Structure 1
Amino acid sequence: MSRDRFRVALCTLSFSCLFAQALVAQKGQPTPQTLGAPATDLPQEPAPLLTQPLYLRSTLVDYGKSRELLPNPFGPYKARQYVRARNDGGLSLANMQRDGKIYLSLSDAITLALENNYDIAIARINLDIADTDILRARAGSSLRGVSTGLVTNTLGGTTSTITGGGGPGGTSSASGGGGTGANGLVLSTNGSGPTPEAMDPILTGNMQYEAAVSPQSNLLFSGGASTVATNTGTFNFGYQQGFSTGTLLGVTYNNSRVTTNNAFTTFSPNITATTRITATQHLLQGFGRGINRRLIVQAENNRQITDSSFRQQVLYTVNQVENLYWALVSAYEDTQDKAAALEQSAQLAAETRRQVDIGTMAGIEIVNADSSAASDKQALVASQSNLQYQQLVMKQALVRNLRDRSLAKIPIVPTDRVSLEPVQEEEMPTDDLVGQVIKNNPQIEQAVLNMKNNQITIKAEKNALLPVVDLVAFYGGSALAGAQSVNALNFGTGAPYAPGTFPPVSYGTAFGNLFNNSAPDKGVGVNVTINLRNRTAQADQSRSQMEYQQSEMRLDQLYTQLETQATNAQYALTNDRAQVAAAQAAKEYAQQSLHSEQRKYELGTSTPANVQQQRRNLAIAANSLLSATAAYARDRAALLQLSGKTLDLYGFDVQASAAGVIPHPVTVPGVTAAPVAAPVPPR
């Protein structure tokens, strides 16, 4: 064996060993723990339910699909005008007016929010943004990311619910970015690793004409001409496309047509054609469909995370609207109570003044009665201001445009009151409730999908540790065509060649010669790039493992938090019910005490001060009942939101919310009509 052949064999053996070691290292890496299970040996948690239907649509356009060349070859190069979902013909506050007031039920409030609330509308567009990342990934491009945090710009109605989204970024936790994430997580390696080849085919072309006249300093090399005129036409074309196997295919087809008066040129015009097909295959880093299609899988996971985040947004905003509604009910009832108290104190002041005038009561009682009436008037003014604010806050949650000042000034009359009928979740065994929360809460779904993305990143970073070893093979050919130049000089005789000495060659013949192996250009080789210290890849690979551990601990933390929140929410609802009963009994006692004191006053055995004191006691008891009832309503809605049952219980699907058009008003259980309320106008 020759020395050169021995060297080639030795290099081949070395690369084979390196490749085998890399594959063993890849297969021998420990795998992450099962998704959805805690890190410790605890009982298996129930698997989360994925948001259904998958891939919610806000419009009829799927932005994850490209415009193809057929039937419209110009389609891929035309801009798309995004038209967001907009409801202009559904339920609105404007058509709920009667006698200068808006009569609003809780069902109508939630329906209006699902159609018009800006927080939901902003989150709705994220669905389409996530689709654009799928389209980019299918082309082999990197992901831009999508916000998956809750949008919490609606005033009022805030709760203590955890608001972190499942993916990087999010309005409520962190603005989008590669190095930041929700709930203390670092997500900087998400989507990193070997860059896939561009899988969209690329066609290039270069067509050029050049006319040049060059003065010659050596007449010998120009055939005796003092200037040489050369006209060159270039017609070059190329094609390139990457594939998910880690293969890059390139095709070039080059042509040039040259005419010249140079006597040394045999052909004029001289047509030269060359072609080459080059295939490059990654053998280590960037090898395989799993590595090169990982961004597509991650984009699809992110799309599911966005679906889940939108469902979480709907649950959160519906809960906000419910809190706003019960705050409005409390403010409305408080205003009614304050108005009745002022009317009674005014009557008592008038009666006291009459008693003083006839001499049956001391004059100081007038001062006391007037002072009480003034205090009641101030309390009514404060209550009315609060009611107006609650009405305005409710409107900003339900209306797209409040610049119509006439609508902003119309008062809202809430027509529903909370019923104390227990919901299923209130009486459910705690363990069953916790299982339902873990199964239905969108945060668990998002955390599990995010961990799937982390697993993909871990595999990509392991692959990025490997050297770059690319196998390159190419095949091509060259051909010549043209006609004999009239200036071609025979240096043997010193005279021009006779016409026909060099038979003309057609371009068709030359094109055929490119592929008949008459003038082949072929070869094979290996390109190697080895980072001897490889510190960047080592750091990223270690970082990806750390980020996965963070995500895993975040999931375990979510299990603990949701279990605690579910237990606390159930206890809170039980305590709220008892508080309402106690407040109701206290109010009834205060009413009876006031009635008794008024009877004593009418019989002359009591004073206006005693009556006013009993009235204050009744006002305090009424406020306590309003607060207790509102707390019960809020906590019941929060429990339904936590368990993820709001959508099913209220009778609307998340796809209708994504589209922004609710076919029929939702049905809210656990509410009753107000004891005294004007009839609700027809829709």
Structure 2
Amino acid sequence: MSTRNRKSLFSLLTLSLLFAQAAPLRAQETARFAGSMFAGQQTTQQPAPSSNNPPAQTGAPAQGPQTASPTQSQTQQSTNPAAPAQGQQPAQPAVPPTAPPDTNLPAPQAPAQTAPAQPQPGAPGGQVQSPVGPSAPGRESVPTSPDAQLNVPQVAPDFKADEAAPFPALERVGVDMGEQRALSVQEVIALALENNKDIEVARQNVRAAEFDLQAARGVYDPRFQTNSYYERTEQPAASFLSGSSTGAVTQSGFFSNSSVQGLTPKYGGGYRLDFVNNRVTTNNQFAALNPQYPTSLTFSYTQPLLRGLGFDQSRRSIEIAKKNLSLTDAQFRQRAVETITNVQRAYWDLVYALRNLQIQREAVRDARKQLEHNKRLVGEGMLAPIDVVAAEAQISGFEQSVYSALDDVNRAENNLKNLVAENREAPIWGVAIVPSESVELAPPQVALDDAMQYALKSRPELLSSDVAREINEIEQRFAREQTRPQVDLVASYGMVGLAGASNATASNPLAASSVDTRNRINQLIGIVNEQFPGSNLLPIPEPAVATIPGQLIGGEGQSLANLATNRFTNFRVGVTVNLPFRNSTAKAQLGRTLVDKERIHTQREQLEQLIQVDVRNALQQVKTAESRLRAAASARAASEQQYASEQRKLDAGQSTVFLVLERQTQLATARGNELRAQTELNKAIAEFQRATGNALEQNRVEIRVR
């Protein structure tokens, strides 16, 4: 067939299509004209042209509430506009109707003569009235139309945007497209581990746990304490031997008490060293040294024999602090794994968003090519001008997809920047990130049992569970120790020193009375010797004068020297017993730790089960994503072939523009689905790394524990 014959055949088909579309319009116009001719001559009331309510059936009872659906007569009327509705038979007109002079429509045929319908009694104007009766049971409150059910008001009717308004400036908000930064997955992960706020908080938690351990060990640091003061006291004399001639004994001086005490790291013992250095002045006339300098040095040690010997509160605090440090290390490792997974997801989301933007732009480009192709076919007479409008509408639809894809790019990039930026002032916020990682990642080939065993060995959550179990063991050990009786060995050893100035005014209150007594006794001895010769009793000799030892004469230095010579010492050894009768508190605490042990064991089993579910789902997700990728690739290849074939059919006159545009849309969707399947596979691989606990090893991240 020649080109001219094909054009003629195509023009004939186009005209036939136009006439076929115009036939219903002519039929409707004929029906309206016939209705106007028969108006006022029908025995039943005709509905208004704008009303959807059907006319009442003659002599028919009401069948429930009326609905907005068309009746059988309306259906017939829409099929054959010239046929009158059932129950609305018009009477024979006096003059046959004719067509209006300004139309080319044929005159409608007069309907057959029929007997007029008998009006119901009581109906005004001879109109048929439907009897009013109760509705069918169960249908009284049922709405009759969607409008009655929803009752939605009209909002912004006939809204249309301004087509002539200029397009706003299409740009990335806050991003300089001229400044781009290519980043791989490893580089993004490194930035996140360095700057991410969650990682920084976890790192600070580790440092806080280190200080907690240091504080717990500080319980063994020796503690020095000193107490120095001046004191003056005045006590009333209540005895002749008080040594006061004024009725009150006055004493003043400087007092200094210093001590060093601490705990031993093993066996729960405690030590204390006390040093006393005073200077005392008094008005007591019996004081041989005034002022005097008493000094002393005492060492005491307390050693538990039962409770606290093997394990005490100090060692408990240190061991728990160590475990808490291990716990924060495990939590830091878990936070690092979660951050790595989130960064990988955000990275592949950005890859998909950028690639999807490119696909949508390619769709716009292909649509514009199709527009030019349609224009050429219209110029050749093979397409109607409306096909150009269809291609332009396709371009507008794809342009909307471009704008949506651009918004997705902005959101995905901001999400990734939020994970890697140091703060809101970081320079990376104004840079366009360009992913440089290869999209095609090899899925892991591992069996379920191997993946499960690795997960049970490497998941940070299980490490945290192990630390919790070890802390509970420490609590059990301490609680059992507290149920034992407390028996402590107490020992002390002390040295005393003294020196002072000799008191010249000091007197011995017994010295004068002892001289008189000795003289009287000697007189009696003389009388006895005279009365009884041969008795030969010896008189009491005069006692020697008491003197102060020379080593006690001196000042503070002499007192310290006497202390250092260890001439005056004291020693004490004893046992202290503290035995509660029931010790209910310690027993209850031990029971609590045993219950915690069972709880931790149950939680461990639950955690292992959840990890098993996690590994199973992650491995299945990888395999499913891989299968979806293969299917999406096949669908994309088929869509490309269908689109190319549909274009060739259109050129040959065997297809329509609608089908070509439909194939074009399907191709754009298939390309996006293929990329989505690839990025979903990459995210599934990242999720599998997290589930098995090897995200750090797979991404070459090393965590150093100090």
TM bucket normalised to smaller? 0.5 to 0.7
1:561 to 592, 603, 610: 610
CA contact (8 A) 2:267 2:310 kept: yes
Q: Give the letter for the 2:258 counterpart.
A: F
CA contact (8 A) 1:103 1:415 kept: yes
CA contact (8 A) 2:440 2:678 kept: no
CA contact (8 A) 2:311 2:477 kept: no
SS for the counterpart of 2:499 is strand
Q: CA deviation at 1:396?
A: 1.8
CA distance in 1, matches of 2:503, 2:639: 120
CA contact (8 A) 1:225 1:262 kept: no
Per-residue CA distance 1:379-405 (angstroms, 9 max, x = gap): 21111111011111111222213325x
2:345 to 290, 300, 323: 323
Aligned to 1:112: 191
Q: Give the letter for the 2:287 counterpart.
A: T
Q: CA deviation at 1:375?
A: 2.2
Q: Structure 2 vs 1, CA of residues 517 and 204 (structure 1 numbering), >3 Å: closer, same or farther?
A: same
Q: CA deviation at 1:589?
A: 0.8
Q: CA deviation at 1:415?
A: 2.1
CA distance in 2, matches of 1:600, 1:460: 87
- Asked if residue 333 in structure 1 is aligned to residue 352 in structure 2, the reply is no
Q: CA deviation at 1:271?
A: 1.6
- Asked if residue 452 in structure 1 is aligned to residue 470 in structure 2, the reply is yes
Aligned residues: 497
Aligned to 1:469: 487
Q: Structure 2 vs 1, CA of residues 346 and 443 (structure 1 numbering), >3 Å: closer, same or farther?
A: same
Q: CA deviation at 1:314?
A: 2.2
CA contact (8 A) 2:193 2:199 kept: yes
Q: Give the letter for the 2:599 counterpart.
A: Q
2:678 to 613, 616, 629: 629
Q: Structure 2 vs 1, CA of residues 343 and 478 (structure 1 numbering), >3 Å: closer, same or farther?
A: same
2:208 to 129, 144, 159: 129
Q: Structure 2 vs 1, CA of residues 100 and 248 (structure 1 numbering), >3 Å: closer, same or farther?
A: same
Aligned to 1:440: 458
Aligned to 2:294: 272
SS for the counterpart of 1:100 is strand
CA contact (8 A) 1:447 1:555 kept: yes
CA distance in 2, matches of 1:219, 1:532: 48
Segment drifting more, 528-537 vs 247-256: 528-537
- TM-score norm. by structure 2 comes to 0.64
CA contact (8 A) 1:219 1:226 kept: no
- Asked if residue 246 in structure 1 is aligned to residue 248 in structure 2, the reply is no
Q: CA deviation at 1:579?
A: 0.9
Q: Give the letter for the 1:256 counterpart.
A: N
Q: CA deviation at 1:106?
A: 1.8
Q: Structure 2 vs 1, CA of residues 98 and 409 (structure 1 numbering), >3 Å: closer, same or farther?
A: closer
Aligned to 2:394: 372
Aligned to 2:621: 572
Q: CA deviation at 1:128?
A: 2.3
CA contact (8 A) 2:180 2:432 kept: yes
CA distance in 1, matches of 2:313, 2:424: 51
Q: Give the letter for the 2:340 counterpart.
A: V
Per-residue CA distance 1:125-151 (angstroms, 9 max, x = gap): 3332222222223233xxxxxxxxxxx
CA distance in 2, matches of 1:440, 1:257: 70
Q: Structure 2 vs 1, CA of residues 355 and 111 (structure 1 numbering), >3 Å: closer, same or farther?
A: same
Aligned to 2:51: none
Aligned to 2:698: 649
Q: CA deviation at 1:536?
A: 2.5
CA distance in 1, matches of 2:394, 2:593: 69
CA contact (8 A) 1:273 1:511 kept: yes
Segment drifting more, 272-281 vs 224-233: 224-233
CA contact (8 A) 1:476 1:514 kept: no
SS for the counterpart of 1:139 is helix
- Asked if residue 502 in structure 1 is aligned to residue 502 in structure 2, the reply is no
Q: Give the letter for the 2:395 counterpart.
A: A
CA contact (8 A) 1:206 1:237 kept: yes
CA contact (8 A) 1:223 1:489 kept: no
CA distance in 2, matches of 1:124, 1:375: 49
Aligned to 2:325: 303
- Asked if residue 597 in structure 1 is aligned to residue 597 in structure 2, the reply is no
CA distance in 1, matches of 2:351, 2:666: 21
- Asked if residue 417 in structure 1 is aligned to residue 438 in structure 2, the reply is yes
CA distance in 2, matches of 1:124, 1:463: 35
Q: Structure 2 vs 1, CA of residues 537 and 493 (structure 1 numbering), >3 Å: closer, same or farther?
A: closer
Aligned to 2:41: none
Q: CA deviation at 1:511?
A: 4.4
- Asked if residue 223 in structure 1 is aligned to residue 244 in structure 2, the reply is yes
Q: Give the letter for the 2:244 counterpart.
A: G
Q: Give the letter for the 2:361 counterpart.
A: A
Per-residue CA distance 1:446-499 (angstroms, 9 max, x = gap): 32233122112111111122233322222324443211224424446899xxx9
CA distance in 2, matches of 1:453, 1:214: 59
Per-residue CA distance 1:141-184 (angstroms, 9 max, x = gap): xxxxxxxxxxxxxxxxxxxxxxxxxxxxxxxxxxxxxxxxxxxx
CA contact (8 A) 1:388 1:411 kept: no
Per-residue CA distance 1:555-610 (angstroms, 9 max, x = gap): 22333332332233222212211110001100111111112222233344333322
1:488 to 496, 501, 506: 506
Q: Structure 2 vs 1, CA of residues 533 and 363 (structure 1 numbering), >3 Å: closer, same or farther?
A: farther
Q: CA deviation at 1:223?
A: 3.5
CA distance in 2, matches of 1:262, 1:533: 55
- TM-score norm. by structure 1 comes to 0.66
Aligned to 2:230: 209
CA contact (8 A) 2:244 2:283 kept: no
2:257 to 236, 243, 254: 236
- Asked if residue 287 in structure 1 is aligned to residue 366 in structure 2, the reply is no
Structure 1, unaligned runs of 5 or more? 1-96, 141-198, 660-683
Q: Structure 2 vs 1, CA of residues 494 and 376 (structure 1 numbering), >3 Å: closer, same or farther?
A: farther
The structure number with the bigger radius of gyration is 2
CA distance in 1, matches of 2:549, 2:585: 62
SS for the counterpart of 1:450 is helix
Q: CA deviation at 1:204?
A: 1.3
Segment drifting more, 222-231 vs 233-242: 222-231
Aligned to 2:660: 611
Identity among equivalent pairs (%): 28
CA contact (8 A) 1:256 1:271 kept: yes
Q: Give the letter for the 1:137 counterpart.
A: A
Per-residue CA distance 1:510-529 (angstroms, 9 max, x = gap): 44665877654433333333
Structural mapping, 1:353-364, within 5 Å: 360-364=382-386
Q: Give the letter for the 2:469 counterpart.
A: M
CA distance in 2, matches of 1:407, 1:247: 59
CA distance in 2, matches of 1:646, 1:494: 101
Q: Structure 2 vs 1, CA of residues 456 and 98 (structure 1 numbering), >3 Å: closer, same or farther?
A: same
Q: Give the letter for the 1:588 counterpart.
A: A
Aligned to 1:666: none
Q: Structure 2 vs 1, CA of residues 653 and 606 (structure 1 numbering), >3 Å: closer, same or farther?
A: same
CA distance in 2, matches of 1:642, 1:544: 32
Higher RCO, Cα 8 Å, sep 6+: 1
Q: CA deviation at 1:618?
A: 1.6
Structural mapping, 1:51-130, within 5 Å: 99-130=178-209
CA distance in 2, matches of 1:288, 1:386: 64
Aligned to 1:662: none
Q: Give the letter for the 1:602 counterpart.
A: D
CA contact (8 A) 1:114 1:314 kept: yes
1:389 to 392, 411, 430: 411
CA distance in 2, matches of 1:100, 1:608: 42
Segment drifting more, 295-304 vs 454-463: 295-304
CA distance in 1, matches of 2:250, 2:660: 119
